[in-house]
Chain A
């Protein structure tokens, strides 16, 4: 006969500890899963690296335009490009696939904390973003002799990580609005023009004036300006205005995702 004792109610501490463990396990498994999916991991890391090598290191070798090192400028813009890809495809397409397969339904029926799931996806995308940035920085420093201080590198990493959030929200909205079959197509239709028009491939100052105005609406522009600002290469607008731009975009995307999720819940 076991000792009789009234079982105490579960204390919040143990629950929070378990939630933390769940979050860490989910993140680790999500990251490993993405890494093992060669089609994803090789392209999401490969494309920005390939573009940077070609456009930043080979084509404009050692060039300086108005005192700006092209290789260093492109280090900033292609870091942003790569990170957005990781967020949009890792989170957006991943979520879309799990939704369409019914896997998300199983997760929702389990006692998994929904926040742990979403944060794990975000963190995995951030991890890929960091990998991309480190690779690009290594290439820039070694092959193009880009001078990068530790402080600049730290800000680059930090901004890359934070920059995942608005695009994670966009990925969520995409996954909830668009059926899985067309999701990659839509993602590319958004990703590539948004990157170009935000000045990630050709510097924004070199684009026509009307496009520079249009870029004010784009999160790619605001994020790239913040990252370029870390290198002292920002072209227009204060840092605060760019943060506001990103915040506004994030809120709009969250709103769309929320409405789409409610509609999805009501119809299920």
Chain B
């Protein structure tokens, strides 16, 4: 009897509707190998899993295999080895894609169709699409619905493509550079929408070159390079790994103008790295509070103080630069 209740709820509120459900694997790549016809090995034994209600950012330098991995999950490509599963099914089958939404970097959508027509077409593909008014509101397209796609500004075009990904009220959404070309307000608006998707139990896979975005949105980051996984974890964990400390310690960067010399700073407990950039000194520490107390006690004239999480960019560069030196 309980199983029937759960099934009914799962059906009505979506795959992840049951609050006590264990971490359900929504999508998975299992030991996937992808070799193109021209011999290029794009993915080399890559395994990853996406769970309910999480936003996952897939990061990697150009040519790392991100697009290949995402295309496999979208059903646009077939793996040479290994398996791809979306909601337990094969994404190459249309039925599986009834629960997915996609936003791609499209050069040009048909320009002589109105925004409303585009959205209506995509809504029609799905058995339970999102309400038209909700899509317009979520994508911020109020007022431009009757304009032709060709008449939209760059930001509006991007928002329309976002609307198309939401059209079917999907449980798994792929977003490829969703905020490229958007101004700050539109970007923040889209971030809010993406977060609310996850809150409603949807799963979002995000690929972006804008690492601040991955840092701000993602529950989990997966870094791949040369077709293999480099590391995965929360943004904080990835940053720690990127700066060479263990993932369990939370890293902070302290910037200030201080008269303390490098050797003194390195001796302070928790400090892992010190760099002097002109008048400012950057101190990386695993125990930021203790380090600060010590520094403030030693130097009464310390000023221009900032305490930040390390930039994901630096961690990313460190992680993806390591590989060429190995083996």
**Chain A residues within 8 Å of B, Cβ to Cβ:** 2, 4-7, 10, 14, 18, 21-22, 25-26, 29, 32-33, 36-37, 97-98, 100-103, 105-106, 108-113, 263, 265-268
Contact = CB atoms under 8 A, between A and B. Distances in A.
Nearest to B12: A2
A268 B78 CA distance: 10
A56 B122 CA distance: 45
Contact of B71 (A5, A21, A268): A268
A25 B124 contact: yes
B168 interface: yes
A103 B104 CA distance: 9
A111 B77 contact: no
A18 B127 contact: yes
Nearest to B109: A103
A94 to B, nearest CB: 9
Contact of B110 (A2, A103, A109): A103
Interface of B: 4-5, 7-8, 11-12, 36-38, 71, 74-78, 94-95, 97-98, 100-102, 104-110, 112-113, 117, 120-122, 124-127, 148, 161, 164, 168, 174
B38 A267 contact: yes
A210 B245 CA distance: 82
A2 B113 contact: no
A22 B106 contact: no
11 contacts: A6-B7, A10-B127, A14-B127, A22-B125, A102-B105, A106-B109, A109-B74, A109-B97, A111-B100, A266-B36, A267-B38
A2 B77 contact: no
A71 to B, nearest CB: 35
A106 B104 contact: yes
B164 A265 contact: no
A4 B6 CA distance: 9
A101 B76 contact: no
B135 to A, nearest CB: 14
Q: Which of B7, B36, B105, B110 counts the most chain A CB atoms within 10 A?
A: B110
Given A2-B8, A102-B106, A103-B108, A110 B122 contact: yes
A266 B102 contact: no
Contact of A110 (B4, B11, B113, B125): B125
Nearest to A116: B125
A110 B97 contact: yes
A100 B125 CA distance: 23
A4 B76 contact: no
Nearest to B40: A267
A105 B107 CA distance: 11
Given A101-B108, A102-B104, A103-B109, A6 B71 contact: no
A25 B109 contact: no
Contacts of B109: 101, 103, 106
Given A29-B117, A37-B112, A7 B4 contact: no
Contact of A6 (B4, B108, B174): B4
Q: Which of B7, B77, B94 counts the most chain A CB atoms within 10 A?
A: B94
Contact of B94 (A6, A29, A103, A111): A111
Given A5-B8, A103-B107, 10 more contacts: A22-B124, A25-B121, A29-B117, A102-B105, A102-B108, A106-B109, A109-B76, A110-B102, A110-B122, A263-B37
Contacts of A10: 127
Q: What 3 A-B pairs are tightest by C-beta distance, nearest first?
A: A101-B108, A36-B112, A101-B107
Contacts of B38: 267
A267 B42 CA distance: 11
Contacts of A29: 113, 117, 121
B98 A25 contact: no
Contact of A4 (B4, B101, B104, B161): B4
A108 B125 CA distance: 12
A108 B76 contact: yes
Nearest to B4: A4
Contact of A265 (B8, B77, B100, B174): B77
A6 to B, nearest CB: 6
Q: Which of B100, B107, B112, B113 counts the most chain A CB atoms within 10 A?
A: B112
Contacts of B105: 102
A108 B174 CA distance: 14
A110 B75 CA distance: 9
A120 to B, nearest CB: 10
Contact of B8 (A7, A100, A103): A7
